[in-house]
Copies of this chain bind each other. A is one copy, B any other.
Amino acid sequence: MTAREAGPAGGLDAAAGGAGAAGRGAAANADAPHVESAGLAALLWSEERPVKRGPKPKLTLAQVVDGGIAIADDDGLDAVTMQRLADRLGATKMALYRYVPGRAELDALMLDRALGAPGEIAGVQWRETLTGWALEFFDRAVAHAWSVELAQRAHTPGPRELQWFEVGLAAMDGLPLTSAERLDVLALLSGHVLSLVRRSTVSGSPEGDLAGSIVPILALRADEYPFTAAAFEDASDGGRDAGLRFGIDRALDGVEAMMQRRAG
């Protein structure tokens, strides 16, 4: 867990300039050029290293990352241990460090690969484009529920994550909004989406969500929490992802209202 400490530890800050890296958390296998100084950034942007001398690698970086994703999909993020990943790939634990500097970097690679780049989102109107953006983002995230955890940690964004930004911001091109406001819109939407992904599929277990654990408690203490008890009783049979649409629609209603107010 210590190693999973978020923040700019280890090789994360190496992306901040290329020079001055190799600090205290110097990567394992400093002798492995495949990985070396540039650290995470080189991995995320898959900078090739054509120098070929020693034995041929048995694996590829993509295999390692995909293996991690497969394990996470099956049994959750915590099941992705170097040992289990190695077993799956038919290698030993330590062999993996020839491909990935450490667990933190593996996480970053898994995230960027699992989310993927946004597809072509139909829509000429900003509003339907942003709605599609949020819905597609949701779909990607629920498909790999563990990715939410990684996405909301401090991390170095990968190329595909930046693509999401790009597409989202492009949808707002020409609107009467400042740059900060555009980013705030995406933050509001993505925060909502990620929050809902968590509720939808917490640990993949049935009734693992908040409503599932809150209802039996409220049954015993309905008098202390009248509004809450009533709300959860009424809403128990609500549509599956109605909350997702509701939040997106309300957020964009709000943006629209602000722009109209600003225009008139």
Contact = CB atoms under 8 A, between A and B. Distances in A.
A258 interface: yes
A154 B231 contact: no
A231 B183 contact: yes
A6 interface: yes
A76 interface: yes
Nearest to A169: B227
Given A154-B203, A257-B254, A243 B169 contact: no
Interface string A136-178: 0000000000000000111111010011011001100100001
A95 interface: no
A196 B205 contact: no
Interface residues of A, number: 88
Interface string A203-244: 111011110011011100100111110111111001000110
Given A154-B203, A207-B8, A234 B188 contact: no
A234 B78 contact: no
A-B residue pairs, 10 tightest by C-beta: A191-B195, A7-B203, A250-B254, A179-B234, A253-B254, A254-B254, A154-B202, A169-B227, A180-B235, A180-B238
A82 B76 CA distance: 24
Nearest to A237: B180
Contacts of A74: none
B213 A156 contact: yes
Nearest to A185: B250
How many copies make up the complex? 2
A15 interface: yes
B7 A191 contact: no
A194 B196 CA distance: 12
B253 A257 contact: yes
Contacts of A153: 198, 202
B188 A247 contact: yes
Contacts of A170: 227
A213 B179 CA distance: 18
Given A198-B152, A213-B156, A231-B169, A6 B203 contact: yes
A154 B214 contact: no
16 contacts: A1-B78, A5-B76, A6-B208, A7-B203, A7-B205, A8-B208, A154-B205, A166-B225, A166-B228, A178-B234, A183-B231, A183-B232, A184-B250, A187-B192, A187-B196, A191-B191
A131 to B, nearest CB: 13
A93 interface: no
